[in-house]
Structure 1
Amino acid sequence: MDRSRPALLRRVLVAAVVAVVGTVILIPGSASAAGTGTITGFGGKCVDVSGASTANGTKIQLWTCNGTGAQSWTVGTDGTIRSLGKCLDVSAGSTADGAKVQLWDCNGTGAQQWTATAAQDIVNPQSGKCLDATGVSSADGTALQIWACSGGANQKWTVPGGSTGGGGGGGGGGSFVVSEAQFNQMFPNRNGFYTYAGLTDAMRKYPSFATTGSATVQRQEAAAFLANVAHETGGLVYINEINTANYPHYCDNSQPYGCPAGQAAYYGRGPIQLSWNFNYKAAGDALGVDLLHNPNLVATNSSISWQTGLWYWMTGTGGAGTTSHNAMVNSQGFGVTIRAINSIECNGANPAQVQSRVNSYTNFTGILGVPTGGNLYC
């Protein structure tokens, strides 16, 4: 793991703040549909609007499937799930276990954002928690709530249109140029948190990642991203920054929003070791997730964690003057991605670190059966 990251991340990631803040605009009523139909869950029951009522606060429950409009849901590409002209909503925007799920006027808040994953979870990114059948019951009238994701059968759902990244559009997912077997070959000792499903779900936020250019270019970009991630995390082993002594140093109190999660809450997490309060805010604003108040989502929600890595890959320029994505799709070479992510290593300052990244890239392109291309070093 790169011990120079604490000083680096302020230099490298701060440039992305201005470029990213404010780019996510959710307009109530503007969702296009990823799919419309029933949402089925525990016991084969359907997600149902109690009494087919359209009143704000109406209970959302399990009920025997009956084909009525109260059981017809539209999964929007903006991350909403709608029925009867209103949105699936977490009461009062709560992030607590047991918070009620209800019907409410669509308003574009995080309480109405949902990610239906390839693992059949329906996650509220604001809380990082899963749609859950209360009491592990499948009885008619069982209320739905949010609860810490457990993988239990009462948290598994089949949605119309399949999994969706909640605002990222199409692409990614099952069409990733790296198969799950190849991913496992690349990371034989990875932490179970860094799931393949989490990565492919996160890709829906950035549909041009590893889908741009020729088949060779797509594989080279995937290999380059994963090689840099491998270096940052010790082969997808580390979730949190190892050096806990650095934790209190990532709060920039000059920012008007301060550090609401605490002075020591913004240490490195995830595949790029996201650090500093301003970077958590910028990434969260871009992804539609409140990471400033809930930074630990990067260490507890695999999809969100991967999303932060892709956010920087697709938007951060560091010392390169271009993004890592653009560098790969425009044949500028792997070395430019190193400069975008950690320019301090370049120009002979830390050749061992650069070589580590290049070695991973060379290994991964070999697994994917494509040449490395030129300009490997920075």
Structure 2
Amino acid sequence: MSAAADTVSGRITGLADKCVDVADGNSASGTQVQLYDCNGTPAQEWTNPGDGTLRAFGKCLDVRDGSIADAADVRLWDCNGTPAQQWVITEAKDIVNPAADKCLDVRAYNSANRTPLQIWPCQGAANEKWNTSALGTSSGTGPQNPVPVPTGDGGSTSGFVVSEAQFNQMFLNRNSVYTYDGLLAALGAYPAFANSGNDTVKKREAAAFLANVSHETGGLAHIVEQNTANYPAYCDAGQPYGCPAGQAAYYGRGPIQLSWNYNYKAAGDALGIDLLNNPGLVESDSSVAWKTGLWYWNTQVGPGSMTPHDAMSNDAGFGQTIRSINGALECDGKYPAQVQSRVDSYVGFTQILGVDPGGNLSC
């Protein structure tokens, strides 16, 4: 068979049925490769010439600078025969770069137009699945059976249903205080968390907790409340123990944005940590920060009728966790955009974990 006959071409579709696209139809080397509405233009026409490459405009899909690191960008580049331009299309609908042993991935699970594509550890999630039927099921001379893609448990050896790779995928731009190891260390304070019921229930609860704290902290980017003008307001001087750390010391901190002197007192008492006198521990100690989030999740009803832990472990649905955290301001049509933001994060995280999100998502 001639080389011309070996070459097949077509579009590659992924998250939200959008296309792998060369930004702005620019054929120059270095142009970003991204997700974009399918439009039938040459910028979305990819060929598989049978040499392990995927090409548009006669140039190759390339991992920037030959990187094998998580989150390395992909781009268009002159074909040069390097491992950065080798791809294997698997029957599981992954597109794998064997040199990095990582999958072509839509960054941050974002289906918006112009979201960059990258390489990331293969998780089996929807943002790493591609319809390449026009290009065949395997590409090039690379391995036809690459390293197995992890299933929904992510290969975690900690006993927690979220692996470190999955956690990193959920929170690409997190504050350095929010470490995975800190989260693992905090789990012992509430052993029932994400550890009640079957694997589906466990994964849904982990996704629900992480989705809510992601919303509260801008994707774990913020360890403290951003509006400093509010700081002096969180001292309830009517409490018998007062505010020993100072009038403005009890502002929002940590993954659930713990605030008010009485909440620092209650959380500290429950955890055996003197947070009333040392509230700064919540922003400096990763384990303490995570423990305060788990304290609220597992013990506090808030404006709802049940704790978030009970909502997820008893299959009441993600919407009830929103109600328990901020229902007075967001639920019952008060702030639907905020509710939807939480739901979107939850659905995205359940997909990363490989589990159905269940029903009753909104409040």
Q: Does 1:224 align with 2:208?
A: yes
Q: Secondary structure at the match of 1:174?
A: coil
Matched residue, 1:362? 347
Higher relative contact order (CA 8 A, sep 6+): 1
Deviations, residues 114-133 of structure 1 (Å, cap 9, x unaligned):
xxxxxxxxxxxxxxxxxxxx
Q: Does 1:324 align with 2:308?
A: yes
Amino acid at match of 2:321: T
In structure 1, list runs of 5 or more residues that go unmatched. Answer: 1-171
1:365/1:371 contact within 8 Å kept: yes
Deviations, residues 119-165 of structure 1 (Å, cap 9, x unaligned):
xxxxxxxxxxxxxxxxxxxxxxxxxxxxxxxxxxxxxxxxxxxxxxx
Q: How does 1:144-163 map to 2 (within 5 A)?
A: none
Provide the TM-score with structure 1 as the length reference.
Answer: 0.54
Deviations, residues 175-209 of structure 1 (Å, cap 9, x unaligned):
10000000000001111110000001000000010
1:261/1:295 contact within 8 Å kept: yes
CA distance in 1 between counterparts of 2:254 and 2:211 reads: 14
Deviation at 1:319, TM superposition (A): 1.9
Matched residue, 1:102? none
Q: How does 1:186-205 map to 2 (within 5 A)?
A: 186-205=170-189
CA distance in 2 between counterparts of 1:212 and 1:221 reads: 9
Matched residue, 1:346? 331
Deviation at 1:173, TM superposition (A): 8.9
Provide the TM-score with structure 2 as the length reference.
Answer: 0.56
Deviations, residues 48-106 of structure 1 (Å, cap 9, x unaligned):
xxxxxxxxxxxxxxxxxxxxxxxxxxxxxxxxxxxxxxxxxxxxxxxxxxxxxxxxxxx
Matched residue, 1:282? 266
CA distance in 2 between counterparts of 1:309 and 1:333 reads: 19
Deviation at 1:347, TM superposition (A): 0.3
CA distance in 2 between counterparts of 1:235 and 1:337 reads: 18
Q: Secondary structure at the match of 2:174?
A: coil
CA distance in 1 between counterparts of 2:223 and 2:157 reads: 22
Larger Rg: 2
Matched residue, 1:240? 224
Root-mean-square deviation (Å): 1.1
Which aligned runs of 4 or more in structure 1 are off by greater than 3 angstroms? Answer: none
CA distance in 2 between counterparts of 1:208 and 1:237 reads: 27
In structure 2, list runs of 5 or more residues that go unmatched. Answer: 1-155
Q: Secondary structure at the match of 2:193?
A: coil
Q: Does 1:214 align with 2:203?
A: no
Deviation at 1:279, TM superposition (A): 0.3
Q: What number of residue pairs does the alignment pair up? A: 207
1:210/1:218 contact within 8 Å kept: yes
Q: Once the two structures are aligned, what percentage of the paired residues are identical?
A: 69
Q: Does 1:175 align with 2:159?
A: yes
